[in-house]
């Protein structure tokens, strides 16, 4: 049976449409048609009463749900928590992030992700983001120093063996890798992100030329842009093809810095939450020596370092519009199609287009309320 979604402003990912109908059949978008061209006699109709609709948000960097933290509990239960907590706020697709930890923990996270995806093919868990453990100690942020290590061929081969079909992003400090090690990861289809890096501009440029195509949380845990040493930030700005995710919570970067990044990177700047937990329910957290306290809308550890964000993707969209001055149309693209392009999934998610899944986010003009809409 077909479903017709009517009376909404439609953000397709490439344009904004009024007076059109989204036709859904068997959980997929069949077509988008002018509303006057489609007969509704044999279709179920959903009247959105003038609200906005877009493809569901995509969060490529999220650490926990309302209850569980993936690195601490790398289980299917945690993945379900992350997915459900995100979905409730309009994020239909996620890459749960597992951070710097022992190899056994990484392999457990890989297996849990693979099993969850096999058992729940319609859920929006796209794979895993492995952030570390091969980071630069000088830029570790809240990552535990005890588990940060230099890459060895043996450990990289183990991670590739068990995880190359699951790991969609791997954050590394590329200055600590040999060219052969970078090639090993890239040739096995693992998308690399430059982050938690103390690289010089020259080293970062070399990494991007080798095939690293994005950075991890722009401005944070990387060398900053100076007029004599432009660092990782400068190299990211200097490479038109490099994608840059940004955390728009007002703490990870000033909104003025976000405006500058948008002017420079526009088509490659996209949103992530980097949420430690979702929904502000967890106010104190401890895993081994990693601790975090929620205060004034931010998670910080006992050393005073930011330890992940406390926003949702919907918050990021709202802040992009209201604090950074980006248009609603552009902010939606930053949470959908651009995020999909950054991880090479733009042919399957991130747009309202023929053949794409009927997984949407619906929101009001003022950006005060976001809710999912999944049509089977």
Return d(Cα 223, Cα 200) in angstroms, integer.
Answer: 7
Is the distance from CB of 212 to CB of 193 less than 8 angstroms? Answer: yes
CB burial string 16-27: b at 16+ within 10 A, e below: ebeebbbbbeee
Q: What's the longest Cα–Cα distance across the chain?
A: 67
Q: Which of 33, 166, 11 is nearest to 90 (CA)?
A: 11
Burial-class residue 327 by CB neighbours within 10 Å (0-12, 13-18, 19+): exposed
Cis peptide before 47 (omega within 30 of 0): no
pLDDT tens for the 376 residues of the chain, in order: 899 999 999 999 999 999 999 999 999 999 999 987 666 667 899 999 999 999 999 999 999 999 999 999 999 999 999 999 999 999 999 999 999 999 999 999 999 999 999 999 999 999 999 999 999 999 999 999 999 999 999 999 999 999 999 999 999 999 999 999 999 999 999 999 999 999 999 999 999 999 999 999 999 999 999 999 999 999 999 999 999 999 999 999 999 999 999 999 999 999 999 999 999 999 999 999 999 999 999 999 998 999 999 999 999 999 999 999 999 999 999 999 999 999 999 999 999 999 999 999 999 999 999 999 999 9
Q: Which of 212, 145, 229, 142 is nearest to 173 (CA)?
A: 212
Structure tokens at 174: 């590329």
Return d(Cα 309, Cα 279) in angstroms, integer.
Answer: 11
Place of tokens 């399957």: 348
Write out the catalytic residue numbers.
274
């Amino acid at each position: 049976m077909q479903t017709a979604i009517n009376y909404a402003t439609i953000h397709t990912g490439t344009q904004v449409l009024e007076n059109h109908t989204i036709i859904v059949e068997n959980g997929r978008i069949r077509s988008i048609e002018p509303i006057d061209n489609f007969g509704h006699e044999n279709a179920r109709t959903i009247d959105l009463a003038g609200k906005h609709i877009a493809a569901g948000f995509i969060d490529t960097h999220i650490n926990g749900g309302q209850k569980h933290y993936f690195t601490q509990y790398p289980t299917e239960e945690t993945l379900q928590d992350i997915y459900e907590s995100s979905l409730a706020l309009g994020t239909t697709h996620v890459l749960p992030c597992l951070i710097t930890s022992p190899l056994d923990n990484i392999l457990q996270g890989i297996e849990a992700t693979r099993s969850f995806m096999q058992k729940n093919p319609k859920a929006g868990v796209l794979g895993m983001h492995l952030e570390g453990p091969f980071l630069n100690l000088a830029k570790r942020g809240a990552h535990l120093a005890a588990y940060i290590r230099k890459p060895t061929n043996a450990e990289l081969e183990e991670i590739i063996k068990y995880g190359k079909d699951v790991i969609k992003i791997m954050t590394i400090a590329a200055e600590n890798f040999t060219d052969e090690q970078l090639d090993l990861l890239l040739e096995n289809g693992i998308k690399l992100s430059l982050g938690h890096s103390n690289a010089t501009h020259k080293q970062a440029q070399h990494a991007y030329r080798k095939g690293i195509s994005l950075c991890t949380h722009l401005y944070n845990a990387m060398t900053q842009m100076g007029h004599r040493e432009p660092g990782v930030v400068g190299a990211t700005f200097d490479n038109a093809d490099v994608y840059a995710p940004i955390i728009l919570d007002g703490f990870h970067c000033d909104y003025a810095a976000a405006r500058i990044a948008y002017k420079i990177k526009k088509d490659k700047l996209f949103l992530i939450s980097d949420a430690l937990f979702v929904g502000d329910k967890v106010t104190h957290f401890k895993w081994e020596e990693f601790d975090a306290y929620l205060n004034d809308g931010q998670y910080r550890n006992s050393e005073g370092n930011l330890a992940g964000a406390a926003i949702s993707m919907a918050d990021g969209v709202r802040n992009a519009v209201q604090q950074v001055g980006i248009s609603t149309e552009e902010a939606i693209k930053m949470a959908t199609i651009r995020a999909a392009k950054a991880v090479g999934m733009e042919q399957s998610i991130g747009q309202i287009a023929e053949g794409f899944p009927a997984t949407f986010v619906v929101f009001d003009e003022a950006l005060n309320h976001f809710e999912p809409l999944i049509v089977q």
